[in-house]
Each structure stands twice: as structure tokens, then as C-alpha cells.
Amino acid sequence: MYLAAQPGSLQLTQQGQLKHFLTTEGLPKTLLTRILDHTESFLGVENKKVKNAPLLRGKTVMTLFFEDSTRTRTTFELAAQHLSANVMNLNVKHSATSKGESLLDMLHNLEAMSVDMFIVRHPESGAAHFVAQQVKAGVSVINAGDGRHAHPTQALLDMFTIRKTKGAFEPLTIAIVGDIQHSRVARSQIHALNTLGTGEVRVIGPKTLIPHALSQFNVKLYHNLSRGLKDVDVIILLRLQKERMSSDLLPSKHEFYQTYGLTAEKLKLAKPDAIVMHPGPINRGVEIASDVADSDQSVILQQVRYGLATRMAILSMTINTQDKQLFSEEARTS
């Protein structure tokens, strides 16, 4: 596991602008709101005749995925292409790292290719922070998911989906259901929801899938799904992270579905206009019933559509900040 630096000092410039995007933890409400506002301007870009904006023209963006994730990687690549960046994709499984080269050695070699941004997905918590600490000035790092720690761009597209559907966060009661213990998405969502002033954030799940340090997160804990769903405005379901848990944490998928799976009957406990979300990929008959996933209350496909615009907003805000910072440093030393 890589040690993560203080997120605020590493992510932000002295002026409070994005330098890297590694976690939602510690980011101010004004910045999160600005990202959501900026996302609005990129909505529907895939349907326009001219899809590309020149905001990252001449920039090189490299995806470094040490874990498989076709949807996340594809969305980042499309986002960078729509911003007119040059996009490089390193097949890490077939790179020199598999022959013993360290992450730091690989990073320095890639920097020699004049890369302006690294988008990093890694199974170890803190890996993206480590890369951000090591890159030279002017290079940005985006965390596309690290271990159990964070998945900040997924959280922001989820926040945008909620705001687009429900408006202000303050009146809302939002429930996150499922495998909290192993979910980097849940941690990023909770930090963002609290920062944006959500009225009440609930966490629902079995005791074996709830982290011991949950009391630090300013949430209300429920082990009973029916009680936890009572009168909520938003339900966020999480995928069971079977690859990250030992076999004794969960007796069976069937038992989980019976106790914590969202069915049409259980959905009636929430408010009539409640929306259902899932960061994907969904497991029908495990976390959610098919008729709920395909219902009018489900906004799961909207989340996917909003992912492109959200990542375009984050990429453009981060790289352009680095440019401004370098310009200011050069002006001071000239």
C-alpha cells in the first residue's frame, strides 16, 4: 500500500484550483460545485456535429490502468479526445513493470515522452497519490480508482446525476446500500455528499461489509434495509466486491439479495419519486432486481451518459490549472 499525502495540499494550488484530482476528501464545496457547473457545459457533446473542443489541443494524456476497467478507461479516453488531446494507452500488464521495473522507474521513462497528464487506476490504495508526489511540475494526475481508497470522478458524476435529477442537496436523504467495506466509490461519494451539504447520508449493509471507522464519515448506519430505506430520496446501490473480500464475509449472493437486494416491493419504502443509482457494473438478482434496474425510477443509464461530460470537465480544469501555475512560476523567476 502506498502512503497518501494530505489530499488538500497535494491536489490544490495556493489559489485553491485543481492541480491533481485524487480524492473528494478535503475539497471545498465551492470547487465541487464549480466542477458540477462546468460539467453542464459539456452535456450532449457526443451528439453534436463537431464533437471536439480545443481546450487540450497539443496536450498528451496517458492512461495507466493496472486494473481492468473497460468502461472507465473508454470514458476517459473519449473525454480527452473530445478535448482535442493526444491520447496514449499503456498496456501495463505487458509493460516492463511485469519484468520487475518499479512504478517510479516506469513513471520517469514515460515523463520523458512529454506526457502532460496521467490517468491512473491501481489495485493499491494511495498509488495515485504516490504518482502525483513524484511527477514533475506541470504534470497532472487523475485518480481513476485506487484500491479501497477513492474513485473521485465516479463520485462526481454521481453528484451531477443527483443534482440534475433532484436539484439542491440540502433537503435530500440519501442511502448508500451494500458493500461499503470494500468500495472506493462509497468513500468518495460520502465525502462529496457531506461537503455538498446533503441533509442526511445513510449507510445500509451487513455488519461484515461495514468498515469499523464509519463513525468518522458523518453518516447514519443501518443494518436493516427496510428501516434504512424509509422515506429516502436517493438510493445508491453498490456492487459486491467479491474479488476484494474473504469468503467468510458473505455466506452467498442469494442470501445477500434476500436481505439487501433492492426489489420493487422494498423500493416502495422510499419516497414515491426516489431515484435508484448504481456505479456499475450491476449484478441483477444480487444487488438489484431487473424490474427495478429497468424502471422509470432508475437513473443508472443517465449516470453512464453523464460520465463523459464530468470527466471532460475535470480533465480540462486540471490541465489548464497546471498551465496557469507554470506561467506564474516562470513570471516570478524571470
Quick one: pLDDT at residue 132?
Answer: 94
Domain with CATH 3.40.50.1370 in the chain: 7-150+305-333, 152-300
The pTM score is 0.90
124 vs 200: CA distance, rounded Å: 31
pLDDT at 106: 84
Q: How confident is the model at residue 107, as a pLDDT?
A: 86
Cell 433492492 belongs to: 262
DSSP code at position 97: G
Tens of pLDDT along 287-321? 999 999 999 999 999 999 999 999 999 999 998 65
Does residue 94 carry a catalytic annotation? no
CATH 3.40.50.1370 fits 152-300, yes or no: yes
| H-assigned helices in the chain | 7-11, 29-41, 70-82, 103-111, 127-134, 152-166, 184-195, 225-229, 253-260, 264-267, 290-293, 300-333
pLDDT score of 243 = 55
**pLDDT of 327:** 39
CATH placement of domain 7-150+305-333: 3.40.50.1370
Of 229, 162, 225, the C-alpha closest to 189 is: 162
Q: Which of 23, 39, 63, 72 is catalytic?
A: 72
Helices (H) and strands (E) in the chain, counts: 12, 9
Among 30, 70, 94, 99, the one annotated catalytic: 99
Out of 29, 48, 51, 71, the active site residue is 71
Q: Give the chain's residues under pLDDT 50.
A: 3-5, 244-245, 326-334
21: helix, strand or coil: strand
**Does the active-site annotation cover 75?**
no
In the residue annotation, 121 being an active-site residue is answered as yes
Res 330: pLDDT: 42
Confidence at residue 97, expressed as pLDDT on a 0 to 100 scale: 58
